[in-house]
A and B are shown apart, each in its own frame.
With several copies, the nearest count.
Chain A
Amino acid sequence: MSKQVRQRERVIIRFAGDSGDGMQLTGDRFTSETAEFGNDLSTLPDFPAEIRAPAGTLPGVSAFQLHFADHDVQTPGDRPDVLVAMNPAALKANLHELPTGADLIVNSDEFTPRNLAKVGYAASPLEDDSLSSYQVHSIPLTSLTVKALEGFEITRKDAERAKNMFALGMLSWLYNRPTATTLTFLEKKFAGKPELARANITAFNAGWNFGETTEAFTVRYEVMPAAMRPGLYRNITGNTALSYGLVAASVRSGLPLFLGSYPITPASDILHELAKHKRFGVRTFQAEDEIAGIGAALGASFGGSLGVTTTSGPGVDLKSEAIGLAVTLELPLIICDIQRAGPSTGMPTKAEQSDLLLAMFGRHGEAPVPILAPQSPSDCFDTAIEAARIATKYRTPVFVLSDAYLANGSEPWLVPDVDSLPLIEVEFTTEPNHAKPDGSPEFWPYLRDAETLARPWAVPGTPGLEHRIGGIEKADGSGNISYDPTNHDTMVRLRQAKVDGIAHDIPPLDVDDPTGDAGVLVLGWGSTYGPIGAAVRLVREEGVRVAHAHLRHLNPLPANTADVIGRYRKVLIPEMNLGQLALLLRARFLVDAISFTRVRGMPFKSEELADAIRDVVGADV
């Protein structure tokens, strides 16, 4: 039978199932197909901290949401138009976010009394009318898959496992996705096991054909490709982009990359990615702990490498002392904090922006450190390069504050032309820079560049420049140990001035204020960029006038930040914390910034942000 085809501008799909059901993989594949098709998109994986909580339980539910459209997409979307629920737990955990009228595809095989009981369903929601407000497609995915794979030389378990490919095939049909990438992917994935490869491909095709033939689907959807700048695209997650950015910074600076790291969610994937790139001379050191990770990176920096350490909140706590050492040694170092929900162990797989003040102040003494924050998955690439530029030019540790949402979320990325990437020029000092009283030349490790206030970087192996540096206060210039009170005051202010001075070496904060006469500025940082952008678009469609600016440099702030803020009657600062940027701006500019905060481990929903904006704009008369 031929099906009716409906046009859609945008679709939000959420795949939800048990940790063992392979939902992340399914989501990834559908994403690739969608990307290749040419839609713009944004994704949000959401999985539990446990590797595999007991099958069929709520804590065990793993989900993947994808938002794709024929226009540019800014967030993974608030509420799904389609929910694929592989078991009762997945249904229960996600139903409350489903808008009425949404499509609900469930694997009816899993709705057994036992599974229903596990999550406290007295009766099967498929039988009673509790789902009446949705388009329910109840399909026995497991048995259909097993049936499709009869005759294959694989275990029943493996056959059942293939149900996610059946579901993928079905949805690929439903949204008319190109399937080539998935087929080649499956060949690769099961390269060693041809039978399994064939089985999964068969399941996938079976799913597609099922969609074609079943009554369950009367309509099929079409989402036209989005208009995007011409070029070569790939889909990329924040952690991959950050890794590539670091490799690029190494290539463009000529400094070998050294990563010292200790595994921690959600940062580990950067270590995993960089460990692959030996051909770029990348050295990855899996340390015994976070302190050793940053220590080794600092040692490598002392030796002339681009030292990097990657971690998340708890690891930053532990690195605090070593970061202070890096501040006073004035050596380049990049510290990537992939923020997760705290305090303490908190919710390791969830996103939060609550390490900003830690990055600003989390060391004893006056120990200023520049801070950058990427605003989208692909922006992690550029941010890494910018961090390397600042770290090497100013001989300073630099913080990069990403978060779990950016790290695992993905978006299409216009692959840049390598030659267009910034060149990072680093010059090691090779000659003495000072004269002894008797006129003979000597090397002063703390004789600063007049303009940048950076100290010289002379690496071991350079004859005649042998010198010692350390954590004790140093005499301005010579760098010798000094307990002189006035010298200490001078050095404290010099270190601060060096970091503050970077403000003149970074792009000004630019504002998106189309009508030019908005009274309210929404000011954000980091991963809220997408949600704020989407919310701003929503309210503008209603004719609301509002401006949006987003800070990529958090310390120091762009030189024009004061002017920008001064131009608006009200400043609204949405953050996934209790108002950390707001605190900094209030202190710095005495502006009565309005904080809008949600600390749920989840990105903002654009709707709730839109409400917040409406409130503030409404009150602004």
Chain B
Amino acid sequence: MTVPGQRSGLDLVPVTDGDKATKKHYTSDQEVRWCPGCGDYAILAAMQSFLPELGLKRENIVCISGIGCAARFPYYLNTYGMHSIHGRAPAIATGLATARPDLSVWVIGGDGDFMSIGGNHLIHALRRNVNIKLLLFNNRIYGLTKGQYSPTSEVGKLTKSTPYGSVDHPFNPVSLALGSETTFVARTIDSDRKHLTAVLRAAAEHRGAAFVEILQNCDIFNDGAFDILKNPETRDTAVVRLEHGKAITFGANGEKGVRLTGRGGLEVIDTTKVQPESLLVHDITHTEPALAFMLSRLGNVDDGVTPIGIFRSVQRATYDDQVNEQIDAATAAGGVGDLAALLSSGDTWRID
């Protein structure tokens, strides 16, 4: 969501002259090659049906990915696209977005692609606040290479590469993004089409780097990883839906709530036992990410309680806008560069 007064991420992207595009319009002729039941299908469907709603010229949308099951995404979206190499998509997208402010650039990657080999490009794109939308398909496993643990896998994970259980502590992608100065940070779930679409729309409209963690099921190598957030028995108490301007409550009938402790932390409380005012009201526009960071620590899938929604959405000059403004300003001031003048600049002498 664009907060009033904020410039939209799509400002410079040309729109169609009214003619309504459809999902079909955004569906490529390539046969989708994910496993039956893969969570990626739901995300693809959501993208294909929400993109037309933006009313942009389809040819001005580009989707760039690295390598992985998730990274096959661009092939199936009928826009411009590049299926690049493992981990480098954020860097490639940075160049494209900086050179072409008239494009809406989407970057797709898995938890290996973005958080493992591509981690550095990710955090730098986020800190620079390049106007690109980064969608992390987090299935907490390496799918395409047939099931090794990933930097988001829970400790003790038994996989092909860790027959005795993994011993390394995972990243919390939302925390990492907030520690990387990211201006838009959100988390959503593959199976919750409505929520997913709302978050994607907000990301699209955010001017700057938008980081969206999508919890995605890999039904071959990590099936059920997010069942606790999906299963009707558990989901109400496991999923904490963050909504801007609303007090943070969850549970079947909002019987649980989140409030600040006096000691600089958060606590989950029984809303029936406290004054509504004492609940923490979610505000995505805090200039400082500290409170959003605190919310990111409320818990993740492993602890049950998992906040989803937009954690942070603030405006900060984007890298690409500033690069282009410097060019415009210099040109406005000094005029378009004169090659002859450049070549003959500095100390010169004439031989006749």
Q: Which residues of A contact B (CB under 8 A)?
A: 32, 35-36, 38, 49-55, 57, 59-60, 181, 185, 228-235, 244, 247-248, 251, 256, 258, 260, 262-265, 268, 271-272, 275-292, 295-300, 302-305, 307, 314, 321-322, 325, 329, 344-345, 415-418, 460-472, 480-481
Residues of A contacting B148 with CB < 8 Å? Answer: 263, 268, 271, 286
Asked if B98 and A181 sit within 8 Å, CB to CB, the answer is: no
Please give me the residue from chain A that is nearest to B32 by CB atom: A54
Are the C-beta atoms of A466 and B98 separated by less than 8 Å? no
Contact partner, B348, options A282, A415, A466, A472, Cβ 8 Å: A415
Cβ–Cβ < 8 Å partners of A49 in chain B? 144
Query: B152 to nearest A CB, angstroms?
Result: 12
| With A32-B347, A248-B339, A278-B164: A325-B145 Cβ-Cβ less than 8 Å | no
Q: Are A300 and B96 in contact (CB under 8 A)?
A: yes
Instruction: Known A234-B344, A302-B82, A468-B82; judge A286-B91 contact (CB<8 A).
Output: no
Chain B residues contacting A52 (CB-CB under 8 Å) are 34-36, 220
Q: Which of chain B's residues have a CB closer than 8 A to the CB of A229? A: 351
Is B33 a contact of A291 with CB atoms below 8 Å? Answer: no
B-side contacts of A288, CB under 8 Å: 91, 116-117, 119-121, 124, 151
The answer to whether A286 and B339 have CB atoms under 8 Å apart is no
**Chain B 58-89 near chain A by CB (<8 Å), digits 1 or 0:** 11111010010100001100111111111110
Q: Name the CB-closest residue of A to B71.
A: A470
The 8 Å CB contact of B349, one of A36, A185, A289, A300, is A36
Most buried by A among B36, B67, B149: B67
Contact present for A295 and B344 (CB under 8 Å) = no
List the A residue with the shortest CB-CB distance to B335.
A279
Query: B146: CB under 8 A from chain A?
Result: yes
Residues of A within 8 A of B331 (CB): 278-279, 281
Is B326 on the interface with A (CB-CB < 8 A)?
yes
Q: Which chain A residues border B97 with CB–CB below 8 Å?
A: 299
Which residues of B sit under 8 angstroms from A307, Cβ to Cβ?
Answer: 95
| Interface size of B in residues (CB-CB distance below 8 Å) | 86
| B262 adjacent to chain A (CB < 8 Å) | no
Contact B100 A461 (CB under 8 A): yes
* Distance in Å: Cβ of B24 to nearest Cβ of chain A: 14
Say whether B7 faces chain A, with CB atoms less than 8 Å apart: no
Of A53, A279, A300, A470, which is within 8 A of B33 by CB? A53
> Is A281's CB under 8 angstroms from B161's CB?
no
Interface-centre pick from A49, A60, A251 (highest chain B CB count, 10 A): A251
CB contact under 8 A between A471 and B98, given known A38-B349, A271-B161, A295-B91:
no
CB–CB A38/B351 < 8 A:
yes
B321-351 contacts to A (CB < 8 Å): 323-324, 326-327, 329-331, 334-337, 339-340, 342-351
Are the C-beta atoms of A295 and B100 separated by less than 8 Å?
A: no
A-B interface, 7 closest residue pairs, ranked by CB to CB distance from nearest: A296-B95, A470-B83, A299-B95, A295-B91, A280-B337, A299-B96, A292-B91
Q: Mark B115-155, 1 if CB is under 8 A from A, else 0.
A: 01101110010000000000000000011111011010000
Whether B160 sits at the interface, judged by CB under 8 Å, is: yes
A481 contact from B75, B323, B326, Cβ within 8 A: B75
CB distance from B53 to the nearest CB of A (A): 18
Judged by a CB distance under 8 angstroms, whether B242 is at the interface is no
B92 touches A298 (CB 8 A): yes
B163 within 8 A of A: yes
Contact pick for A462, options B59, B117, B145, B351, CB 8 Å: B59
Q: Are A248 and B33 in contact (CB under 8 A)?
A: no
Contact of B92 among A265, A268, A299 (CB under 8 A): A299
A468 touches B161 (CB 8 A): no
The answer to whether B350 and A263 touch across the interface, beta carbons within 8 angstroms, is no
Q: Which of B28, B31, B69, B86 contacts A468, CB < 8 Å? A: B28
Told that A53-B31, A300-B100 touch, could you supply 4 new A-B pairs with CB distance under 8 A? A36-B347, A60-B33, A277-B342, A292-B121
* Complex contact A325–B59 (CB within 8 A): no
A256 cross-chain contacts in B, Cβ below 8 A: 99
Note all chain A residues with C-beta closer than 8 A to B342: 244, 247, 277, 280
